[in-house]
Amino acid sequence: MNVKIVADSSANLPSLTGIAYACVPLKIVTDEKEYVDDEALDTVAMVSELEAYKGRSGTACPSVGDWLEAFGDAEYVFTVAITSNLSGCHNAAVQAKNVYEEQYPNRRVCCLDSLSTGPEMVLIAEKLRELIDAGLDFDAVQTQIREYMKKTHLLFSLESLNNLARNGRVSKVAAKAAGILGIRVVGKASDVGTLQQMHKCRGEKKAMTTLVEEMKNHGFTGGKVRIAHGLNEKGAQALLELIRSEFPHVQAEIAPCGALCCFYAERGGLLIGFEG
């Protein structure tokens, strides 16, 4: 099968080995500048610049044309997009699918709305690769990936919800509660793909034990884990150690957040995708 996986940059997955893969970038926009969320961007510098920036900042999803370009000339395409409840990304992918399938009647595109973002999208992309490698046909991959997606989850721990609130992705009231120094908000991607706050934790340590508890509450028994961090490698390592103290054989990987996730998860943020 001549197949390609295409994810948007909120997955923090610039490359995926062993299969045709492309990443379509979202953008971070201010009144003065545009940051394209690709490998060429210095995310650390962007975060510092934006922290000092007094004006408005927001984000923009890829266009239909961006998705089409990423499809290349693949016969079969699977797109993995950030939750359609917070972004127009998935919608643009669906429109690209319609154009592509009309233009090339023998080609097919399956658009997956992750109802999540970051490391949960990584799990989905990696499972797609596994199913394709196993030789399943297009329809079978579609069926099985949708089953898999019912069992994956995303938890987060955030120090600040400011950029989320400023851009209307959570309520201002919720953001205020999180803004207290030393308080972290622990929550999850809800079943409908919105931010659901679950706990307010004093200190990073408390947030981490809460995260591991919540992983277990969501059915985690030692399956795959993917962690993404907002300029917080140390925190990600500490969280992984805590998970390993209870699940020594866990298959886990840590990656830095790209620009989109860094913008919204902000400095210190942790995102955890796992199999339930």
φ/ψ region of 49 (left if φ > 0, alpha if ψ in -120 to 50, else beta) reads alpha
Quote the tokens at residue 88: 């127009």
CB of 156 to ligand X90, least distance (A): 4
The binder of ligand X90 chosen from 9, 12, 43, 59 (CB under 6 A) = 59
DSSP lists the bridge partners of residue 28 as: 35, 59
As a whole number of angstroms, the distance between CA 5 and CA 33 comes to: 30
| Of 67-75, 99-107, 187-195, 242-250: span binding ligand X90 (CB under 6 A) | 187-195
DSSP SS3 for 35: strand
The binder of ligand X90 chosen from 25, 119, 193, 273 (CB under 6 A) = 193
User: Is 116 a residue that touches ligand X90 (CB under 6 A)?
Assistant: yes
Quick note: the x/- pattern for ligand X90 over 246-265, rule CB under 6 A, is ---------------x--xx
CB of 53 to ligand X90, least distance (A): 17
As a whole number of angstroms, the distance between CA 79 and CA 193 comes to: 17
CB of 101 to ligand X90, least distance (A): 24
As a whole number of angstroms, the distance between CA 82 and CA 48 comes to: 25
As a whole number of angstroms, the distance between CA 141 and CA 139 comes to: 5
As a whole number of angstroms, the distance between CA 211 and CA 226 comes to: 13
User: Is 231 a residue that touches ligand X90 (CB under 6 A)?
Assistant: no
The binder of ligand X90 chosen from 9, 43, 79, 117 (CB under 6 A) = 117
What is the DSSP code (8-state) at residue 210? H
Of 131 and 239, CB closest to ligand X90: 239
User: Is 86 a residue that touches ligand X90 (CB under 6 A)?
Assistant: yes
Contact residues for ligand X90, defined by CB under 6 A:
26, 59-61, 82-83, 86-89, 116-117, 154, 156, 169, 189, 193, 195, 261, 264-265, 271
